[in-house]
Structure formats: C-alpha cells, structure tokens
Amino acid sequence: MSGYFDIPSDLQHSYLGLIGLHLREALIPVLAGLLLSLPVAQLCVRFRWLYPPVLGVTTVLYAIPSLAFFVVLIDYTGQSETTVMIPLAVYSLVVLVPAIVDGVRSVPQETLDAATAMGFGPVRRYLQVQLPIAVPAIIAGLRVATVSSISLVSVGMLIGNQGALGNLLNDANIYHRPELAVTSVVTTAALAILADAALALVRVVLTPWMPRKGATR
Amino acid sequence: MNILHFIQAFFGDSAHWHGYDGIPTRFGEHLHYCLEALALAAAIGLPVGLVTGHYGRGGNTLALIATAGRALPTFGLLVLLVLLVGFGMLPVMVPLIVLAVPPILVTTYEAVRSVDPSPVDAARGMGMPESRILFQVELPVALPLILGGLRSAAVQIVSTATIAAYIGLGGLGRYIIDGLYQRNYEKVVGGATLVAGAALATLAVFWAVGRFAVSPGVRRSA
C-alpha cells in the first residue's frame, strides 16, 4: 500500500472520484426534490385542504426503509445510481414541502397587498416577493435534506456497490483494512458538514437584508 | 411477475412462518432492537431537550450536535464499529441512537421553547416551582410536537434497524440481506414489505398515543 488514499482497484474510482460520485448521488436527488416540492408546496398554499393529505403521503413514503425502497426499484431501474437517487429524492420531500409551505405562508399579508398594489401579477409576486422572503425557511429545510441525503447514499453499497463512499465499507470488510471504513465515515461526515455550511453561506448571500448573526434554526 | 406476486408468494409460503427464520421470530428481534434503541435515544434526547427548551438556551449548540449526528452515516458507523469492537449489539445500537437523538433533541427543544409564554407566566405568578412549570404546563402543551419528534425518530429506527442483518444479527433485515445474496427476489420483496409495514404500524401507534395522551384542550387548539 503506497498511500493512505489509495482505493482498492475493484471500485474503479480514485478517492476524489468517489467523492464526486457521492456528491452527485446525494445532491441531484435533493435538487429534484426541491424542483418537485416547489409546485407541490405552492398548491398546498393555494388550496389549504390539500396540505394535510400531502403531509400524510410524504410521511408514509418517508417510512419506507431505504434498503427496501432500493431493492423494490431494482426490478425497474436495475442496480444503478438511479435506483439510489429516486428514494433519496422522495425522502427529501418530507422535509422540503413543509419547509416551503411554512416559509411562503409566513409572508405577512400586508407585504403581499403592497406588492399587489404596486402592480405585481401573481407570478411575479410569487417569484420576487414570496420566494425571497421564504428563503431562510427553505434553506433550513434544504440543509436537513442535504445532510441526510449525503449520509444515506452509503446504504447503496448493499445493492451492488452503488454507494459511492459507502463502497469503501465493503472493501474494508473483505480486505480487512479498517482504515478504509474510517476514511468512508469521516469523509461522508465531512462532506455533509461542509454542504451544511455552504448552504448556510448561501442563505447569508441570498438574504442580505437579514441580520448576519446565525440562523434561528 | 410483479411485486404483488412476489409478496403473495413470500407470505403464502408456510415455511416463512415457523422456526428461527420465521416471520414471528424475526419480527420479535426487530421490535427488540427498535425499542431498545428508541428508549436509549429518548433517555438522552428528552431530558436535554426539555431542560434546554425550558431555559431557552443552547439552541445553537443543539443545532450543531444535531447536524453532526445527522452527518454521521449510519451504515458507515455500523461497519466501522464492527471492525473496531467486533460483532455484537453495540455496533447496532450506537448508529441507531446517533440517528434517533437529533430529531428527538431538536423537536423537544423547539416544542418547549415555543410554548405560549402567557400560561407559563401565569403558572410562575401562581408560585409554581420551575420543575412543576416544566412538567405540568410546558410538557402537556408541547406534547404533540414532542411526540412528532419521537415519531420520526422511531420510524427512522424501524427502517434502519434492517442494517443489523448486515453484521449477522437478526431482525427483518435478515430477509432482505439473505435474499439479495441468495438472489431470492421473493424473499427480498417480502422482507421489504414487512419493514415498510412495521414503519407504517409505528406511525399508527404514535397516532394512537397522541389521541390518548394529548389533552383535549391542546388538541383542539392545534
């Protein structure tokens, strides 16, 4: 073994390659979840009666264990990255939809009225007034979703080495190299914390009108 | 063949209902792991959340701890602990507790902190000591949210306890892991159905506990 970061060749990736793969498998689902939950949340805001059933459905979907979700999907999407990403996207909804709904609902009525009086149409009012004011709540949700997504990817190892950094865990077992497991756990945790910090920074940049001192959550 | 056929075949086979690898045994093992992990996580998360929430301090520290807990990959932690301390219950319990403490801790803190201050002030004005304020005023009002935190922790534990099978322990994950290695898809889908069913049953249990434990006045205003 020449270097600590040398990865067994059966994974066909370098250390950095695994990190890239891990981030892709974790972040694309969150992004997809965000794109899906924005319209869903808007519908929930518009039609109040829709919110409890939507909340119920996402909670039930969240209750499906990731491993069970993966193996059921193998029948349709094979032992592939997609199989790992679909459940992660579904899980992110349970955090993102309530975060966006609460954020958009928290916009005061006077602010909305002022925007309307200034001649904003509903679309422009949504994009330029409601969404920006909801940014802190949305980012708070995104942070939780991203961190859990990053740590969940590893389970993908069980369905044929689709777990990016998690694949190191299997190699640690079969080659009796515990340091690979340490690398996997530490790197995954570090990625999650870095992503969390990056999103916190994004919030500061996106909401220059907010006080700088830490988020409330 | 679709999923429903697999499910039917799995549950229709009477061999899956008896013996050490039968559904009742595996279900019992699963329940045992989950209850133990939830009890330990609640024993850590609830007191800390209640006290910090009552005094409204330490929110940032709790958020940091919660992020760190969420950031640790459950599955990675399991494998790592097995390599470090060997097989046993400890490598399963620690990741499950790490998984379950953040939601319990954060929700309990937020729930107690966001209790309407006027009844708390009234209780203090009536001369209630702090401990009675916490347990007789704040706790009942915050109970629905606290139960929500416990519920999401419990659901995550139930679905994640499947990984115990990866290190040779029992539980419902046995079917999924064995089925994957034996290329026995029927078993995999059967196991997945059982775990999903157990998770949904957990939701139902918490709903029932909520109906039973939350005082009617609090439920009406919620």
Residues ≥6 apart with Cβ < 8 Å to A34? A92, A96, A138, A142
Q: Which of A63, A143, A181 sits opposite B76 (nearest CB)?
A: A181
- Phi and psi at A7, nearest 5°, equal -105, 135
Residue A7 lies in a domain: no
Q: For residue A65, what are the domain limits? A: 14-206
Contact by Cβ (8 Å): B55, A173: no
Residue A184 lies in a domain: yes
How is chain B split into domains, by residue range? Answer: 23-217
> Which residues of chain A neighbour B163 with C-beta distances below 8 Å?
67, 155
Q: Which of A155, A182, A185 sits opposite B72 (nearest CB)?
A: A185
Q: pLDDT for B23-33, tens place per residue? A: 888 999 999 99
Among the listed residues A214, A189, A194, A192, the one whose alpha carbon sits nearest the alpha carbon of residue A203: A214
Residue A6 lies in a domain: no
How much is the pLDDT for B51? 92
Residue A5 lies in a domain: no
Residue A9 lies in a domain: no
Handedness of CA B144, B150, B153, B156 (dihedral sign): negative
Confidence check: pLDDT of A213 > 70 = no
Contact residues of A toward B, CB < 8 A = 59-60, 62-69, 71-72, 75, 143-144, 147-148, 150-155, 157-159, 163, 165-166, 169, 172-173, 178, 181-182, 184-185, 188-189, 192-193, 196, 214, 217
b/e per residue, B98-126, with b = 16+ CB within 10 A? bbbbbbbbbbbbbbbbebeeeebeebeee
Q: pLDDT for A122-172, tens place per residue? A: 889 888 888 888 998 999 999 989 998 998 898 888 877 788 888 888 888
B176/A68 Cβ within 8 A: yes
Confidence check: pLDDT of A9 > 60 = yes
Distance from C-alpha of A2 to C-alpha of A122, rounded to nearest angstrom: 62
Residue A212's pLDDT band (cuts 50, 70, 90): low
> Which residues of chain B neighbour A75 with C-beta distances below 8 Å?
2-3, 185
Q: Taking residues A10-16, report their average pLDDT.
A: 82
**From the centroid of its chain, how far is CA A96?**
9
Residues ≥6 apart with Cβ < 8 Å to B200? A60, A63
| CA distances to A165, A168, A171, B82, B184 from B173, in Å | 22, 21, 21, 17, 14
DSSP-derived 3-state class of residue A198: helix
Contact by Cβ (8 Å): B98, B69: yes
Architecture of the domain made up of B23-217: Orthogonal Bundle (1.10)
Distance from C-alpha of B151 to C-alpha of B144, rounded to nearest angstrom: 10
Residue A87 lies in a domain: yes
Tokens of B121: 């002030």
Higher pLDDT pick, B124 / A56: B124
Tokens of A76: 């349709």
Q: Taking residues B96-107, report their average pLDDT.
A: 93
Confidence check: pLDDT of A215 > 50 = no
Confidence check: pLDDT of B179 > 80 = yes
CATH number for the domain that contains residue A103: 1.10.3720.10
Confidence check: pLDDT of B222 > 70 = no
How much is the pLDDT for B32? 93
Confidence check: pLDDT of B98 > 70 = yes
Length of chain B equals 222
Residue A47 lies in a domain: yes
Q: Which of A63, A75, A153 sits opposite B3 (nearest CB)?
A: A75
Q: Taking residues B19-40, report their average pLDDT.
A: 90
If one counts the domains in chain A, the total is: 1
Residue A128 lies in a domain: yes
Substitution target in B7, B70, B87, B205 with the highest count of A β-carbons within 10 Å is B70
